[in-house]
Structure 1
Amino acid sequence: MTEAAKHTPGPWIVSDYSKYHVQKPNRGLLCSTGVGNSSGHSDRYEDYANARLIAAAPDLLEALKEATLALEGFSKGEGVFKPIEQTIVMSRAAIAKAEGGAA
């Protein structure tokens, strides 16, 4: 699989100052949420959910790549049961990170 554009590799984390920041540990800010809507008001819970989703993006991308490989193997009738189990674990962990829950 070729990469069209390079992104900052994970892990990314959410930090809370006056608004939520997504950053690479020990490296600095990637982006911020909490800029508000057109009226200037911001929903703190929605901002936090958005930050979690952004921070989980590298994990979600990796899980989707693994799931695609497992499904391609399955569709070809290849024995991919162990990778599928690993892919399920990876996918659940990425989803939990995005949703703020436990894997």
Structure 2
Amino acid sequence: MDKQAHTHTHAPGPWEYNDPKKYTQGHGKFSETAVYAPGALFYWRMAEVQGPDEATEIATARLIAAAPDLLEALDWAIAEIEGRTRYDRERQFPDALSSARAALSKATGGE
């Protein structure tokens, strides 16, 4: 089955993240990682990520940067499951379809 085509209104991918940049402000030190999406003339800064430590910050930035790809994969998975017979869906994927639809709705605001 072909991928189901959905039109989402988020900035198109691929999204990327930068290595943490370290700052000193006042008496504290912190780092920040940003997620970017390509625009027509320049990259858009989609998110600024800070975390309790650098590893968490980078992991969170990676997850955000993967969002367009994850959304596309979720669209495809839903279409694949919906393409099965009702018997196959209920037997092989009893909760997967409702979970996938809920995640898609959360990601798209119900688009």
User: Within 5 A, what are the aligned runs for 1:8-87?
Assistant: 8-18=11-21, 19-25=32-38, 26-34=42-50, 36=51, 42-75=52-85
TM-score (norm 2): 0.54
Percent identity, please: 40
The verdict on how the C-alpha distance between 1:64 and 1:30 changes in structure 2, with shifts beyond 3 A counting, is same
Q: What TM-score, normalized by structure 1, do the two folds share? A: 0.58
Q: Partners of 1:44 and 1:17 in 2: how far apart? A: 7
Flag structure 2 segments of 5+ consecutive residues without an equivalent.
22-31, 88-111
Structure-1 separation of matches of 2:6 and 2:44 = 27
Q: Is the 8 A contact 2:20 2:54 kept in 1?
A: no
Post-superposition CA distance 1:52-92 (Å, at most 9, x none) = 00000000000000000011112358xxxxxxxxxxxxxxx
Q: Name structure 1 gaps, 5 residues minimum.
A: 37-41, 78-103
Quote the Cα distance in structure 2 between the aligned partners of 1:2 and 1:75.
Answer: 22
Greater RCO (Cα-Cα under 8 Å, separation 6 or more): 2
Q: Matches of 1:47 and 1:17 in 2, distance apart?
A: 8
Higher strand proportion: 2
Which structure has more helix as a fraction of its residues?
A: 1
4+ residue runs over 6 A deviation? none
What value does the CA root-mean-square deviation take over the aligned residues? 2.3
